[in-house]
């Protein structure tokens, strides 16, 4: 039996002040987006801000629905809007922050599996990595240099029809 080792490298920051000013501003936009979340069922609001290589910043927030599968995560709201509105622009960085009405979230919250898969598709399409920063409401921030650090054995179009 052959074994493989998968390693990932992440950076951990103790506070927003340790980040570059451009990323601090991106988190500010993510926090603003978080406040627009529609989360009457989970009471868990997520905000995202994306920086594009054309300088535009795109925001997204989670949008729930009583028919649970019909809702959409903040990351996909933002990335799908970016892809539809700026199809030739690459995503350079993504900031994610959360807030719960039940407790203060101090642990960094990474994207869910469906969002990781969607982000991976865009990263492959643009042929360049996107830095993913994520945090709770307060506390430490984690930086992944690429979505591949969060989804190292990802599925992509190369598995389909000989692509």
The pLDDT tens digits for 60-88 are: 999 999 998 899 999 999 999 999 999 99
CATH number assigned to the domain comprising residue 93: 3.40.140.10
Tokens describing residue 133: 């920063």
29 in any annotated domain: yes
| pLDDT at position 108 | 98
Residue 16 structural domain: 11-151
The pTM of the whole model exceeds 0.85? yes
Ranges of residues in the chain whose predicted pLDDT is under 70? 162-163
160 in any annotated domain: no
> In terms of Cα–Cα distance, which of 86, 36, 98 is closest to 58?
86
78 in any annotated domain: yes
112 in any annotated domain: yes
* SS3 label, residue 51: strand
| pLDDT at position 121 | 94
DSSP secondary structure of 64-90: --SSGGG-B-HHHHHHHHHHHH-TTPP
Query: Would you name the residues annotated as active-site residues?
Result: 75
1 in any annotated domain: no
| pLDDT at position 114 | 94
Count of domains for the chain: 1
118 in any annotated domain: yes
146 in any annotated domain: yes
Tokens describing residue 128: 């360049």
């Amino acid at each position: 039996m052959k074994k493989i080792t998968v390693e990932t490298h992440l950076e951990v920051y103790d506070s927003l002040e340790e980040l570059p000013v451009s990323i601090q501003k991106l988190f500010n936009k993510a926090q603003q987006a978080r406040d627009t979340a529609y989360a009457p069922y989970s009471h868990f609001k997520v905000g995202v801000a994306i920086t594009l290589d054309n300088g535009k910043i795109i925001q997204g927030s989670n949008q729930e629905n009583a028919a649970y599968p019909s809702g959409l995560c903040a990351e996909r709201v933002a990335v799908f809007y970016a892809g539809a509105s700026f199809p030739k622009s690459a995503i350079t960085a993504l900031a994610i922050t959360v807030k719960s009405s039940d407790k203060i979230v101090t642990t960094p919250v990474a994207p869910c599996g469906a969002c990781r898969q969607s982000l991976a598709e865009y990263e492959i399409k643009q042929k360049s990595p996107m830095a993913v920063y994520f945090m709770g409401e307060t506390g430490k921030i984690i930086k992944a240099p690429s979505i591949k650090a969060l989804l190292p054995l990802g599925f992509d179009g190369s598995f389909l029809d000989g692509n």
